[in-house]
């Protein structure tokens, strides 16, 4: 059964207002979705990006949206309009894409689904800006230039803020968060595969709790 999304669309920057790190979550078993989300919430992490990299992604989003309304659950790895539609029907409150196309941007606007579009080049930034998006995901951050690239973009794209994702760790996150044009970072280190498989929710809560001090550590 589809979950009715919130009637008032979220401002994309609200995604970054809840904390310095958005966990990038890959779920293999739907039964892990609820305890995993609860563990992150217990550690103070409210915004959750559940990717569509596995078959469990959509039902996991629906489970979290239905049972944990206090969580801001979104969908990652949105590649096309159909991904956006199905995720919105499942209860996703925002979408994240690894790259940007006008088709994905238009679909999300039509669904009132806030989009954090992925970019890796200046041309992609310009395309996203032309379609009205100014809060963007740098992906894959470390592979395409990371901090030096973000510093270089600060002048020509002063109106743009970023959520770098890809290759960032607990150790390097503060260096990104210290940049004026970075609002938050995305990372998979909050939900280690071995911890999820073992049901070690205490460890995940501890990792989530540790992110709260990152913004002041850079």
Catalytic residues, by residue number, are 49, 137
Beta strands in the chain (DSSP E): 21-25, 47-51, 72-76, 95-96, 115-116, 118-119, 135-138, 161-162, 185-187
DSSP codes of every residue in 63-93: HHHHH-TTSEEEEE---SHHHHHHHHHHT-S
In angstroms, the Cα distances linking 32 to 22, 45, 50, 68, 104 are 18, 17, 12, 14, 29
Q: How many residues does the chain have?
A: 218
Alpha carbon distances (Å) from 7 to 23, 63, 111, 171: 25, 19, 11, 38
CA 47 to chain centre: 8
């Amino acid at each position: 059964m589809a979950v009715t999304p919130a009637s008032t669309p979220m401002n994309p920057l609200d995604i970054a207002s809840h904390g310095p790190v958005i966990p990038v979550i890959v779920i293999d078993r739907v039964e892990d979705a609820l305890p995993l989300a609860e563990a992150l919430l217990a550690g103070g992490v409210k915004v959750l990006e559940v990717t569509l990299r596995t078959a469990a992604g959509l039902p996991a989003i629906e489970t979290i949206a239905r049972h944990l309304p206090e969580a801001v659950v979104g969908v990652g790895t949105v590649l096309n309009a159909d991904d956006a539609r199905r995720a919105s029907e499942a209860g996703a409150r925002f979408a994240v894409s690894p790259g940007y196309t006008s088709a994905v941007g238009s679909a999300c606007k039509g669904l009132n689904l806030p989009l954090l579009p992925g970019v890796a080049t200046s041309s992609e930034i310009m395309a996203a800006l032309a379609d009205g998006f100014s809060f963007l995901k740098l992906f894959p951050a470390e592979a395409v230039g990371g901090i030096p690239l973000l510093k270089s973009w600060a002048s020509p794209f002063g109106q743009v803020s970023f959520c770098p994702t890809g290759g960032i760790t607990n150790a390097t996150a503060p260096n990104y968060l210290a940049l004026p044009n970075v609002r938050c970072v995305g990372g998979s280190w909050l939900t280690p595969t071995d911890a999820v498989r073992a049901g070690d929710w205490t460890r995940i809560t501890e990792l989530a709790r540790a992110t709260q001090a990152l913004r002041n550590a850079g």
